Amino acid sequence: MIQWIHLVGSLKAGDVSEGADTFAISHYAAQKVLDPTELFKAPLAGDSGTIGISFTAVYLKVIEWSVETSAGRPRRGIFFLFSNYREALPILSFYCRNMHSSTVENYLKTIWGLQQRSPDSPLVPIGRVAQKLSVTPGTATTMMNQLLKQELVDYIPRKGVSLNVAGRKAALQVLRRHRLVESFLVEIMRLDWAEVHEEAEVLEHVISERLLARMDQMLGHPTHDPHGAPIPTSEGEVPSQSTQTLAECSPGDFTLTRVRENRPDFLQWLALLGLKPGTFFRLIVRDSFADTLTLVIAEGPDQVQISLSAAKSLLVVPA
């Protein structure tokens, strides 16, 4: 018999009474349902959100939904379709554990990135973490308490958070996996540099260390990913380089070393201009009234103009 199981991550164990059709698994609540169509309407009523098929497997189909409620509270759920109910529990258990782990890793990675943007600030405000991850401050605060219990962060309520030694090590492991996966997808799989970030966001949480080591070997042990970001070593060391944003520069000759923005449309636009890490160019005009910079790019158009906001995402070194 075909069986749908609705897994709801926004519920707590106390929110559901266990019975024949409802049960708790990991930190999720699960409910057996015959048809997900009607249940789709309930969580989305009066809210804005998305529903889409996430992936399919041999005997498993998954449909994910996520909404932002009118009260600003994020909710999400997953429908699993099993053709054989006996396979349900072990797969659900694995999924729950992996989802919980990936959420923790995403928070650690985000905190590390925000700390790098503001090295002089000892604590990252929780609001910035929430904004970066597109969650509410309340959701981020709840996660901070969980990370504190796991001894991964130093957290001071109403002030901010920072990674401790264990948290920094875990964050750099995630970054290493992410950036090596991006490099592999571009160099070996020949995917475009504008489309690999989202793929790496998924694979970084599931790839084994054995496979990662083999990918690193095949790539020749790269030090930077396709966007110019440094790849942490297996020992947790990060190659450093003194750079500045192009927005801070006066006219002169420069080499682009890194692109900090990962939006596909932005990366495709840069590629059309001929701006990729390693590109030499000359900044010839800085227009403070129009907030634009005029560049002459080697092997590119004669002159191009970019906005000051775009220039803030480009890290450069004097050529």
Q: pLDDT at position 51, please?
A: 35
**Domain for residue 217, yes or no?**
no
Q: State whether residue 270 is helix, strand or coil.
A: helix
Whether the pLDDT of residue 252 is over 80: the answer is yes
What is the amino acid identity at position 276? K
**Domain for residue 158, yes or no?**
yes
**Domain for residue 149, yes or no?**
yes
**Domain for residue 176, yes or no?**
no
- Kindly state whether residues 104 and 126 are assigned to the same domain: yes
**Cβ atoms of 274 and 297 closer than 8 Å:** yes
**Domain for residue 213, yes or no?**
no
**Domain for residue 177, yes or no?**
no
Give the pairing of strands 252-259 and 244-245. Answer: unpaired
- Kindly state whether residues 60 and 124 are assigned to the same domain: no
Neighbour tally for 97: CB within 10 Å: 12
Whether the pLDDT of residue 120 is over 90: the answer is no
CATH number for 298 = 2.30.30.90
- Kindly state whether residues 69 and 132 are assigned to the same domain: no
Whether the pLDDT of residue 19 is over 50: the answer is no
Provide the domain count of the chain: 3
* Mean residue pLDDT across the chain: 77
**Domain for residue 306, yes or no?**
yes
Higher pLDDT, residue 93 or 259: 259
* pLDDT tens sequence across 196-214: 999 999 889 878 888 999 9
Token pair, residue 255, equals 């080499």
Higher pLDDT, residue 227 or 101: 227
- Kindly state whether residues 283 and 262 are assigned to the same domain: yes
Q: pLDDT at position 32, please?
A: 53
Residue 153: give the domain boundaries.
96-163
Domain stop point among 59, 83, 107: 83
Q: What is the pTM of this model?
A: 0.69
Domain stop point among 163, 191, 213: 163
Answer positive or negative: Cα dihedral of 308, 314, 318, 319: negative
Q: pLDDT at position 50, please?
A: 37
> How many angstroms separate the CA atoms of 161 and 152, rounded?
10
Whether the pLDDT of residue 110 is over 90: the answer is yes
Give the H/E segment covering residue 310. helix 308-311
* pLDDT tens sequence across 220-230: 999 999 999 99
Whether the pLDDT of residue 99 is over 90: the answer is no
- Kindly state whether residues 111 and 58 are assigned to the same domain: no
Whether the pLDDT of residue 47 is over 70: the answer is no
- What stretches of the chain adopt beta strand conformation (E)? 3-8, 22-25, 28-33, 48-56, 60-68, 74-82, 153-156, 160-163, 244-245, 252-259, 280-287, 292-297, 304-307, 314-318
Higher pLDDT, residue 73 or 308: 308
- As a whole number, mean pLDDT of residues 73-95 equals 50
Q: pLDDT at position 3, please?
A: 46
Domain stop point among 109, 131, 163: 163
- Kindly state whether residues 26 and 48 are assigned to the same domain: yes
**Domain for residue 39, yes or no?**
yes
pLDDT band at 283 (very low <50, low <70, confident <90, very high): very high
pLDDT band at 104 (very low <50, low <70, confident <90, very high): confident
Higher pLDDT, residue 275 or 60: 275
